[in-house]
Structure 1
């Protein structure tokens, strides 16, 4: 795999519509040129109360029924049985702080595409989960026959030069036609994830969030790559995965009045300030059309490990902005700064955008690898973590936030 050289040039954009970059094709990647002149308008404050989340039904009864049929496992066990090893890498990125590549199979597969990222620093202020430095990465299945849904990589980052990891399939419990608890794949894009406490939050594009409890992992039969749930022989399958992580609840999104529904494309945790929250970023390929709707960035508050409901039982957003940034793939915040990843196709480097509530977005164009996706901020390390989706160009990496 070729790793293009790093590039540290930044492009500051303030006010107006953004022109496309001049680079054309992979041949230009070794030496990115100067980006076309462009401008961004300042963010527009929106009424945050227009954006809501409502807790969905819990699946406790189904989970308890399946607990009787399936052995439980822990995150520690999954890591102890990690069956894959990554390798240190040096992808093109401004302020590169750390990076690795998946093993050859995962780096090149066209069946699964990586999307979301979170870390043990999201899970706990200590920066560790169950005593270890960890990363979590979500993938969605490109398969349609069958649709294998989504999975999460549990990554032991104790050794950055050789991180060990294992994939865990996300599943949804349900009652089969005979009234027996079973589970099936979770068919979501999984474009953003946050691990907060023991809970894994996964964005469900037009619906809100699906939530999974890392304290309940099931060990299953991994012999059938084409089956999920209870098989005719009584075994439980997970599309070739040895572990499955069942959904425990969900949050359904809504908007008030004539506000267009929010697209939950990506998410990131913000621990700074008095109340932690999850930041939502909205993907719009036409987001830089100044005459259009742009894209929205919204914050929802947390209370303990869960979202904080108001007196009406709904979770009300506390911040919301309209930004004229296209192709947002990742969104996170620290203190008053928001970070957005901006993808640029399969042959051009991505960019990183920063803004505050009162200042126009700044684009560091072509500062990130091709296909940059979700974002996660690691407090105390000044690192913004991300990952790349395209086969043959896949990295997991961190850049220094102070470089932007």
Structure 2
């Protein structure tokens, strides 16, 4: 049997075993340390919503754009494996050293440039503030920006120790050469493909911490950032705790968790998992695989229950987790493991392979945000939908008291209201509520600026306020930064992603000022609200 077939046979067996163990709440097995490192070890991950068959009959409760929806469909249940996940993270914490957010940012290794010439706005008005990422992040085919949050969500006083203003955005791994054209969703990477391009690995999701600060040495303002890999813990067949990137059953729409929305609240980071619910991470468990800051040395790590001392390698980008007593993380210094999950209680019957949405049953968790202008603070969740024949939904939106999500011991229902979005064509990429107004980003692709819509509730319905405000191409998730009065987002497109992008780095063209390059940007809320 060929090595390729061996890997696929192993994957089939492991997936079946993992599914059975996930049902019972036990550990999901991974491969032994001596098996090929490119075997996907944990494609079956929490949370997992109950799957049902899509049918247009589930549109029966559709009211109208802006009309009421059923908040009960949004009810979240604690992940069945939360207790087991806690045990795994506790084991991992005993092996790997930790770094707090402030230390991580103190060693931030990348620069964001305010007001560089990159311009995804075109004919749309310029934002109040714009940050450009370093060239490789701006045009990366692998990492696609999506969710956005920051310290204004995390803390009521918008302060995280001495760290100053902090923003976070999430990116999903959207390009896996060697897997992309493989009809098997698990796929596999040959040794040659990995050697040629480490992007062959499906790396899941990373979160980028961004800090605007004054350089202590020069006294000059600067914006620095650092990437952190999100991880899923498991126990392999050698009874070693280990971790992998985040994965979900989103194929063929995407290869893993989309991270279309993120919310940082207190110590917890909530990440949207489209078909399933929420994944939860903890800022107190950011693992540091290179404590001395010298990537050329393999720093000593701790020992798992076997008592064997381990080290870490942050230069090898082709491996993740523990292999032969060495820890790998796709080349990232920092890893943050999932600590819990929330899954939809209702059956998930949205059609796979389509952007159409049913009108009842479990929604899609396409994006999330935080509203601190209400009492209590609430987490907003909404759907990205494109209406089709038989599926008229423009996308539902609802909210939860966010503090209730910290308990993880009982169901959390939506907060008494839910609506269909008013935009008749759908396509919402992000939404944020503040002071009674709901702001919604709608992307129009690469060929024209996006739309930023404003709505208010009237007699239980969402009603449009004014006209759409034109904004960046590829506009994504929304984040309200209360102290500065800005509404932030990130653009997702890259040169070469469409024929109308003028520069194509893959073909050796210079990046120039191409409007498809990514930026973080903030509009003043007062300016948005004053638009006709």
For the superposition of Structure 1 and Structure 2, which TM-score range results when normalised by the shorter chain? 0.7 to 0.9
Structure 2: distance between partners of 1:290 and 1:355: 26
What are the superposed Cα offsets for residues 9-61 of structure 1, whole Å, 9 maximum, x if unpaired?
xxxxxxxxxxxxxxxxxxxxxxxxxxxxxxxx761122313320011114221
1:335 is displaced (CA, Å) by 2.3
Structure 1: distance between partners of 2:469 and 2:449: 5
Secondary structure of residue in 1 paired with 2:521: strand
1:302 to 399, 402, 422: 402
Question: Contact conserved, 1:51 with 1:256, CA < 8 A, in 2?
Answer: no
**Alignment of structure 1 residues 168-187 onto 2, 5 Å:** 168-187=228-247
Structure 1: distance between partners of 2:477 and 2:161: 24
Query: Aligned residue for 1:263?
Result: 364
Listed as ranges, the gaps of 5+ residues in structure 1 are 1-40
Structure 2: distance between partners of 1:105 and 1:161: 23
What are the superposed Cα offsets for residues 312-338 of structure 1, whole Å, 9 maximum, x if unpaired?
921000121012421111111012111
Kindly indicate whether residue 201 of structure 2 is the aligned counterpart of residue 110 of structure 1: no
Structure 2: distance between partners of 1:382 and 1:290: 41
1:390 is displaced (CA, Å) by 0.9
Structure 1: distance between partners of 2:371 and 2:151: 13
Question: Contact conserved, 1:171 with 1:246, CA < 8 A, in 2?
Answer: yes
Structure showing the higher strand proportion among its residues: 1
Question: Contact conserved, 2:73 with 2:363, CA < 8 A, in 1?
Answer: no
Structure 1 pair 307–66 and aligned structure 2 pair: CA distance change class (3 A)? closer
User: RMSD across aligned C-alpha pairs, in angstroms?
Assistant: 2.3
Larger radius of gyration: 2
Structure 2: distance between partners of 1:295 and 1:66: 39
1:129 is displaced (CA, Å) by 2.0
What are the superposed Cα offsets for residues 90-126 of structure 1, whole Å, 9 maximum, x if unpaired?
7435472211010111111111111111011000011
Question: Contact conserved, 2:318 with 2:330, CA < 8 A, in 1?
Answer: yes
1:162 is displaced (CA, Å) by 3.3
Structure 2: distance between partners of 1:73 and 1:338: 36
Question: Contact conserved, 1:264 with 1:280, CA < 8 A, in 2?
Answer: yes
What are the superposed Cα offsets for residues 177-217 of structure 1, whole Å, 9 maximum, x if unpaired?
12221111013111100000111000000110000000111
**Where does structure 1 differ by over 4 angstroms across 4 or more consecutive aligned residues?**
none
Question: Contact conserved, 1:212 with 1:247, CA < 8 A, in 2?
Answer: yes
Listed as ranges, the gaps of 5+ residues in structure 2 are 1-63, 177-199, 215-219, 248-256, 290-312, 349-358, 495-515
Structure 1: distance between partners of 2:365 and 2:371: 17
Secondary structure of residue in 2 paired with 1:381: coil
Structure 1 pair 71–291 and aligned structure 2 pair: CA distance change class (3 A)? closer
Secondary structure of residue in 1 paired with 2:161: coil
Structure 2: distance between partners of 1:97 and 1:295: 29
Structure 1 pair 308–179 and aligned structure 2 pair: CA distance change class (3 A)? closer
Structure 2: distance between partners of 1:321 and 1:54: 21
Structure 1 pair 82–175 and aligned structure 2 pair: CA distance change class (3 A)? same
Kindly indicate whether residue 48 of structure 2 is the aligned counterpart of residue 48 of structure 1: no
Question: How many aligned residue pairs are there?
Answer: 359
Structure 1 pair 357–237 and aligned structure 2 pair: CA distance change class (3 A)? same
What are the superposed Cα offsets for residues 246-275 of structure 1, whole Å, 9 maximum, x if unpaired?
100011113379923201111110011211
Query: Aligned residue for 1:130?
Result: 161
1:163 to 223, 232, 252: 223
Secondary structure of residue in 2 paired with 1:283: coil
Q: TM-score, normalised by structure 1?
A: 0.83
Question: Contact conserved, 1:224 with 1:240, CA < 8 A, in 2?
Answer: yes
Kindly indicate whether residue 395 of structure 2 is the aligned counterpart of residue 292 of structure 1: no
Q: Which moved more, 1:89-98 or 1:272-281?
A: 89-98
Question: Contact conserved, 2:73 with 2:362, CA < 8 A, in 1?
Answer: no
1:242 to 333, 338, 349: 333
What are the superposed Cα offsets for residues 143-188 of structure 1, whole Å, 9 maximum, x if unpaired?
3332010000011122596310110000011111122211110131
Question: Contact conserved, 1:154 with 1:166, CA < 8 A, in 2?
Answer: yes
Structure 1: distance between partners of 2:139 and 2:320: 24
